[in-house]
A and B are shown apart, each in its own frame.
Chain A
Amino acid sequence: MLERILRLAIILGILAALYIAYWKVRSSSRSDADEPPPWRDSRVLVLAAQVAALGLIWSAGDYLWANFRARTSDIGLELDFGFLDQPSGISIADNPLNSNAAIREALIQGVKNTFLIIIVGIPLAVILGTLIGIARLSTNWLLSKIATVYVEFFRNIPVLLVIVLTWTIFLNAFPPVRISWLPFGETFIFNNLRFGFPSIVGGNNFGAFQVIVLLGLLAAVAVWIWRSRLFDRTGTPHHRVLYGLGTLVAISVVGFVALGGPFDITTPEIIDRVYVGGITMIMPYAAVMIGLVLYTASHVAEIVRGSILSVDKGQVEAGNALALNSFQRYRFVILPQAFRVAFPPLINQFLNYTKNSSLAFAVGFAEITGVIQNLFGQSRPAPQLLLILMVVYLVFSLVLSAIGNLINRRLQIVGR
């Protein structure tokens, strides 16, 4: 290391000496030039500082890389990605992949599981957090105190603890499989291994029905736009939610009847220890997701509260003067303005949520971090796997913040 830096310093010194000599020659040949000497010339100094910094970073990196290569070749570690096609030797809960499937497939399944935590949890966290944030500002003393206790509790304990605590409570609160809790006439299944919910299963013409629903959705959007335009032009109440949903439901029902019942509702059942029908999730997934939602909601609630408080008091008073009730006041006056303020910090919370989903392995849910930790246990090459892990999270972060920034740009008022 020291040797390297010394060598670098010598090279830089020679370069500097050459440049000074060049400057001397030039300034003596052109007597009218009032160029400063190199050690006072900001252009030269800027360049020199950057070359020095680059040299330092480069030599440090090179040094670490040399150590790394020496150590990895000592223990005979190959630094390629050929191992991705080998059988993984791990099995993932709730997944047809067995231990003979390639590592590549196990990793893809891990990414999918991470995505499942994110895509279900973030909307739930936003909804719960918004409700609690509003509750904190309620005039009802009890409601606002309960919301405050909730926020202060979850904000001040580690997220890992929240997840493990949720998991422990689920484990103790739900019965074992053989005496599963079957509420609502056996349409749900809850036990300490798995939760089951009713779902739909496609029958004849299900593909055609999906197309019809999609068309219905397009029609609903068209109706929505038509009602909005009408409202803008004539001022008649638009009722666009009512009209839009009505269009969608009407078209779907017509399609359902015309195609002769293209899908059925199935309820989950346990037949010979196998879950049949419905949609089921393993308990750790539910625990992780709910734990993360509870934790993130406490942060979202604070953001929402702050953004509501940031809305000008005159807006609320104007709403009162127009005789809006408290729901209308929130829906049409306060929340649209507050949301604009709340959105940038919310993006930050989404990113935190994504990163915190990496703690799911603590309760045995195999998302990407869990899969990779399992693979470490199989003594698979750590450097490559860790690189994959970090790249996956960086991609998730980048995509989320890109989407967030896009929405944010649409939200902000232009020209203020």
Chain B
Amino acid sequence: MTDTAKAKESANLAPLHSDTTPAKWVKNNLFNNIMNSVITVVLGVVVVFLVVQSFGWIAGEEWEIVRVNLRNFMVGQFPSDELWRLWTSAFLLIGTFGIGTAAMAHNAYDDANEKGLVAERPSLLNLLARFWPVLAFVALMVSFSETLPPVVGVIAGVGAIVASRLVGWALPASIRSLAVPMMAIGTIVAMAVLAGTGGLIAMSAGVVALVIAASGLSRRFEGSDPKSMAIRTGGPIIIGAVTLVIVNAIGFDGFGWEDWGGLHLTLFATVVGIASGMPIGILLAIGRRSELPVIKGFCVVFIEFVRGVPLISLLLFSSFILPLLFPPSVETPETLTRAMIVIALFSAAYIAEIIRGGLQAVPKGQTEAAQASGMSAAKIQRLIVMPQALRAVIPAMVGQFISLFKDTSLIATIGVAEFFQFAAIANSQPNFLGKSLQLVTYSIIAVGYWSFAYTMSKESRRLEAQLGVGVR
């Protein structure tokens, strides 16, 4: 009997209805012995007291400060007449990710059905159960809005999520297989709307085009004859370069990130920190396992140094020392850029350790089998070891994402006005100075951080269960 059949059978054998009544449940779970009864009564009193107190506090406190500073909390000092960029990029991201994730879910569903596994079609209700903290936070924020546009925008956003999920599910299989490249392109376009088409955006567009072309062409031209090898290696580079030139030539003016702020900047800094730390981290992890003492030594020293000092000291480094490391002829980059360089290196060191764990989890036999079949070292890493290692570390990477999300609050200390910083800024405004409303602003900030981090940690647990990490 297969495992699934067993699972089905045991599901059928479970009692149809349990015979616990509420009274029985209370007796079993709250008052099953004297000790527990005492604990229940004492804790019950404490909980009721705290709940009453906090409701009293919420009702009695002035929430005007949140209403006035709502936009500051969300997007900082982003100019009003440029706000359309934020809305456009948000809708682009919602659209492409909604379609992309729904398409991937449909692919997985088809896959599972083909293999005869139990698969359930993900419903919107399911999505709501998974992401309720974030949705609740957005709803809370919208309830503070004094004007109509944010309310309309958020309602339209929810509509867009639903619509894009439905569209993504309904797409034909041939388009659905392109979900990942589509999401990558959507992200780049969304970024280009915000930051313009020059510089880094053009470069990342080029890199993404290169990667997509490389994976596409290597699937099509598999042979080892010179012609397909030339296409396989040359093609992606040409496509990447052409994309870079085209995107650069579009000449869409953007909006530098020095004026970004609030929750938007916090989320952005986290994503950039992880995304740029990832490739460096992979290299460091491979380097640390190298048999060459020089390379290994360098990687070990770098990783252990970064992990041994607090992030705040690295941020101080970025604001006091990093400007001194650029050649005198070059103008030093702005505070946020320097902070992002340091955050990328910081997360790279932590990611390296996570990936090293994943690499160690890949059985040695895999490498030896690959060597025996005559693969080159680079190919072994790329095709055999890395895919297995990266799959094993996905939950840990989400954990790192959460902790970086929380750690970005530290860039407030070097004077970047991100989400956390606005709690203090709001209280130093003339209207609210000396009213000691810190508790109000900090609790709103806490709800914000909590809703995102909690959602992600639940997702990582779900992924862990799904991937069966640690369960063999």
Interface presence of B312 (CB below 8 A) = yes
Identify the stretch in A91-99, A203-211, A281-289, A388-396 within 8 Å (CB) of chain B at 4 or more residues.
A388-396
Contact partner of B310 (CB less than 8 A), chosen from A54, A143, A152, A369, is: A369
Task: Give CA–CA (A355, B346) in the complex, Å.
Answer: 14
Task: Identify which of A142, A143, A356, A362 gathers the most chain B CB atoms within 10 Å of its CB.
Answer: A142
Whether the Cβ atoms of A161 and B445 lie closer than 8 Å is yes
Per-residue contact bits, chain A 67-81, to B (CB 8 Å; 1 contact, 0 not): 110111010000000
Q: Determine whether the beta carbon of B325 is less than 8 Å from that of A397.
A: no
Identify which of residues 284-302 in chain B touch chain A, using a CB-to-CB cut-off of 8 Å: 291-295, 298
Docked-complex contact B292 and A157, CB < 8 angstroms: no
The residue of chain A having its C-beta at the shortest distance from the C-beta of B324 within the complex is A71
Closest to B327 in A: A67
Complex contacts, A143 vs chain B, CB 8 Å:
36, 39-40, 43
B406 nearest CB across to chain A (Å): 4
In the bound complex, what is the Cα–Cα distance between A142 and B43 (angstroms)? Answer: 8
CB <8 Å contact, B308 and A160: no
Partner among A53, A169, A359 whose Cβ is within 8 Å of the Cβ of B292:
A53
**Chain B nearest CB, measured from A3 CB (Å):** 12
**19 interchain pairs, CB-CB under 8 A:** A50-B292, A50-B294, A68-B325, A139-B29, A142-B44, A143-B39, A156-B406, A157-B406, A158-B449, A161-B420, A161-B442, A161-B445, A161-B449, A164-B438, A165-B446, A171-B438, A369-B313, A382-B320, A393-B309
- Evaluate whether A74 and B449 lie within 8 angstroms (CB atoms) in the complex, with A140-B39, A142-B43, A389-B313 already known: no
Instruction: Bits for B106-138, please: 1 = Cβ < 8 Å to A, else 0.
Output: 000000000000000000000000000000000
Inter-chain contacts of A161 with B (CB < 8 A): 409, 420, 442, 445-446, 449
Which of B305, B412, B446: most chain A CB closer than 10 A?
A: B446
Q: Which residues of A contact B384 (CB under 8 A)?
A: none
| Surface stretch bound by A, among B234-242, B388-396, B450-458 | B450-458
CA distance A46 to B309 in the complex (A): 32
Chain B hits for A369, CB < 8 A: 310, 312-313
How far, in whole Å, are A163 and B337 apart by their CA atoms in the complex? 27
Which 6 pairs, one residue from A and one from B, show the smallest C-beta to C-beta distance?
A: A156-B453, A141-B29, A382-B320, A158-B406, A355-B310, A358-B310
* Residue with the greatest number of chain A CB neighbours at <10 A, chosen from B30, B313, B412, B453: B313
State which residues 402-428 of B face A: CB under 8 Å: 402, 406-407, 409-410, 412-413, 420, 423
Q: How many residues of B contact A (CB 8 A)?
A: 53
Contact check, A141 vs B30: say whether CB atoms are below 8 A apart.
yes
Across the interface, B316 reaches (CB within 8 A) one of A142, A152, A389, namely: A389
Instruction: Output the nearest chain B residue to A169 by Cβ-Cβ distance.
Output: B439
Residues of B contacting A373 in the complex (Cβ-Cβ under 8 angstroms): 316
Task: For B40, list chain A residues within 8 Å (CB).
Answer: 140, 142-143
Contacts A140-B40, A160-B420 given; 14 further ones with Cβ under 8 A? A46-B292, A53-B294, A139-B29, A142-B40, A143-B39, A146-B47, A156-B406, A157-B453, A164-B442, A165-B446, A172-B436, A358-B310, A359-B312, A382-B321
Interface size on A, residues (CB 8 A): 54
List B contacts of A362 (CB < 8 A): 413
Which residues of chain B are near A359, meaning CB under 8 Å?
310, 312, 410
A172-B442 CB under 8 A given contacts A153-B450, A398-B308: no
Verify A390–B312 contact, CB threshold 8 A. no
A275 CB contacts on chain B under 8 angstroms: none
Q: Is the CB of A358 within 8 A of B312?
A: yes
Closest A residue, CB atoms, query B413:
A362
A54 CB, nearest partner CB in chain B, Å: 5
Q: B204-222 toward A: CB 8 Å interface, digit per residue (1/0)?
A: 0000000000000000000
B-contacting residues, A326-356, CB 8 Å:
355-356
How far apart sit A398 and B317, CA to CA, in the bound complex (Å)?
21
A168 touches B442 (CB 8 A): yes
Residues of B within 8 A of A164 (CB): 423, 438, 442
Contact yes or no, B450 A156, CB < 8 A:
yes
A271: min CB distance to chain B, Å: 29
Contacts A50-B293, A139-B29 given; does A67 touch B450 at CB 8 Å? no
Q: Given A50-B293, A161-B442, are A156 and B449 also a contact pair (CB < 8 Å)?
A: yes
Does any Cβ of A come within 8 Å of B326's Cβ? Answer: yes
B313 touches A142 (CB 8 A): no
User: How far is it, in angstroms, between the C-alpha of A268 and the C-alpha of B406 when the chains are bound?
Assistant: 39
Q: Is A383 an interface residue (CB 8 A)?
A: yes
Contact (A70, B328) CB under 8 Å given A53-B292, A382-B320: yes
A49 interface residue (CB < 8 Å to B): yes
Asked if A57 lies at the interface with its beta carbon under 8 angstroms from chain B, I say yes
Closest chain B residue, CB of each to CB of A63: B327
A303 to chain B, nearest CB (A): 14
Whether the Cβ atoms of A64 and B325 lie closer than 8 Å is yes
- Closest residue of A by beta carbon distance from B446: A157
Cα distance A7–B29 in the bound complex, in angstroms? 76
Q: Is A386 interfacial (CB 8 A cutoff)?
A: yes
Contacts of B310 in A (CB 8 A): 355-356, 358-359, 369, 393
